[in-house]
Amino acid sequence: MDRRPVTLEEVARVAGVSRATVSRVVNGVATVDRELRQVVERAISTTGYAPNRAARSLVTRRAGAVGLVLPDEGRTLHDPYFGRVVSGVMPVIRPLGVQLVLTTTDPGGHQEVVDDVRQRRLDGVILIHTHGADPLPRLLTEANLPVVLAARPLRPMAITYVDVDQAAGAALAVDHLVDRGCRRPATITGPLDAPAGQDRLRGFREAVARHGLPEPLVVEGDFSREGGAAAARRLAGEVFDGLFVASDLMATGALPVLRNRGLRVPEDVKVVGFDDSSPAVECDPPLTTVRQPVEDMAAEMARLLVERVERPDRPNASVVFAPTLVVRRSS
């Protein structure tokens, strides 16, 4: 029953060759004689051999695993965004035999990730949703570990990242509102100490100016539903006919506030969100919103990471994707 697993040694014995040759066949080294290869392959399948990864890792100095690091707040974990990232990463690393290890950073620091890296259990790391103050990106790059960020870092630094063109997304929203006849724009921004918050506001402002519209109303939110509601309340008494909310979740908080004020959406105010997350579909009315190609972005992150694991000397890169507009009933 629980007999020891088959080793390379055994396969070699059955095939009547050296361990080195079996190893070469297993790893697809091209120089092996065709006939010998077949003998070995037969021995592998009759013995049911599977290579022990720990032994291989020990000599190759490769864990064969990359980490996906999420902030522990739960927010991210329960966000469909997370699932989309996983869907994007999987298809690129799996064919390479690379495992995806999930890590959440503990409040007390990042000991988990750092340990996994120091113990060589992780060849590289994809970092999701780091705050500006997060020391982890620097910690890891300084340790010479391949790292890819899921967004532009707050402060410029030498690091590889993938992002969506946030400003272009905001512009998409404004163009659409203008197209629908809006002349008095307003926005509920994200937190302005986050790159996404900053960039979406900048894109909004630039597009508003480009269309020759009056100075827009701007209130700051924090990407949460409650923050959206609070921001919408601060808009009470103001006059506007188009509202760009920098995240769908905030929009679901803002919508009821508008309704209570007697404003109909989209008749009196047209609303556009950002993210195309599930709340956008479920809220009433369903939300027109800016969508990021998250799966594609995640696949690109994986590709960049794997590349840097293979070739640590590769220079940093940043790849920026174009957002798209998803039109629903709120506009």
Interacting span for DNA (CB under 7 A) from 54-62, 100-108, 140-148, 194-202: 54-62
Of 140, 73, 64, 59, whose CA–CA distance to 105 is shortest? 73
Q: In the bound complex, what is the minimum distance in angstroms from residue 79's beta carbon to DNA?
A: 38
**R_g (Cα) of the chain, nearest Å:** 26
| Binding residues for DNA restricted to 126-155, rule: CB under 7 A | none
The answer to whether residue 96 forms part of the interface with DNA (CB under 7 A) is no
DSSP 104-160: EE-TT-SHHHHHHHHTT--SEEEE-S--TT--HHHHHHHTT--EEESS--SS--S-E
- In the list DNA, a copy of itself, none, the entry touching 36 (Cβ below 5 to 8 angstroms by class) is DNA
Residues 6+ apart with CB under 8 A from 188: 219, 220, 221, 228, 231, 232, 235, 243, 244, 245, 246, 250, 251, 254
Distance CA 171, CA 207 (A): 5
Torsion, CA 187, CA 188, CA 193, CA 194, rounded to 10: -90
Sketch the per residue contact string, 259 through 298, with DNA: x for CB under 7 A, - otherwise: ----------------------------------------
Amino acid letter for position 271? V
Angle of the 80-93 helix axis to the 294-310 helix axis, nearest 10: 40
Interacting span for a copy of itself (CB under 8 A) from 36-44, 181-189, 196-204, 277-285: 277-285
Q: In the bound complex, what is the minimum distance in angstroms from residue 111's beta carbon to a copy of itself?
A: 10
Of 74, 73, 70, whose CA–CA distance to 113 is shortest? 70
* Count of residues engaged in binding a copy of itself, rule: CB under 8 A: 50
Cα distances (Å, whole numbers) of residue 192 to 46, 74, 131, 132, 254: 63, 22, 12, 11, 18
- In the list a copy of itself, DNA, none, the entry touching 104 (Cβ below 5 to 8 angstroms by class) is a copy of itself
Q: For DNA, which residue of 7, 47, 104, 141 counts as binding (CB under 7 A)?
A: 7
| Binding residues for a copy of itself restricted to 103-132, rule: CB under 8 A | 103-104, 106, 112, 115-116, 118-121
Interacting span for DNA (CB under 7 A) from 43-51, 202-210, 224-232, 248-256: 43-51
The answer to whether residue 329 forms part of the interface with a copy of itself (CB under 8 A) is no
| Shorter beta-carbon distance to DNA: residue 56 or 234 | 56
Residue 39 has phi, psi (to 5 degrees) of -60, -45
| Binding residues for a copy of itself restricted to 77-96, rule: CB under 8 A | 77-80, 82-84, 86-87, 90, 94
- In the list a copy of itself, DNA, none, the entry touching 115 (Cβ below 5 to 8 angstroms by class) is a copy of itself
Interacting span for DNA (CB under 7 A) from 18-26, 214-222, 246-254, 315-323: 18-26
Interacting span for DNA (CB under 7 A) from 21-29, 141-149, 193-201, 289-297: 21-29
Question: What letter would DSSP give residue 293?
Answer: -
- List of residues contacting a copy of itself (CB under 8 A): 1-2, 5, 50-55, 57-58, 63-65, 68, 74, 77-80, 82-84, 86-87, 90, 94, 97, 99-104, 106, 112, 115-116, 118-121, 144, 252, 278-279, 282-284, 312
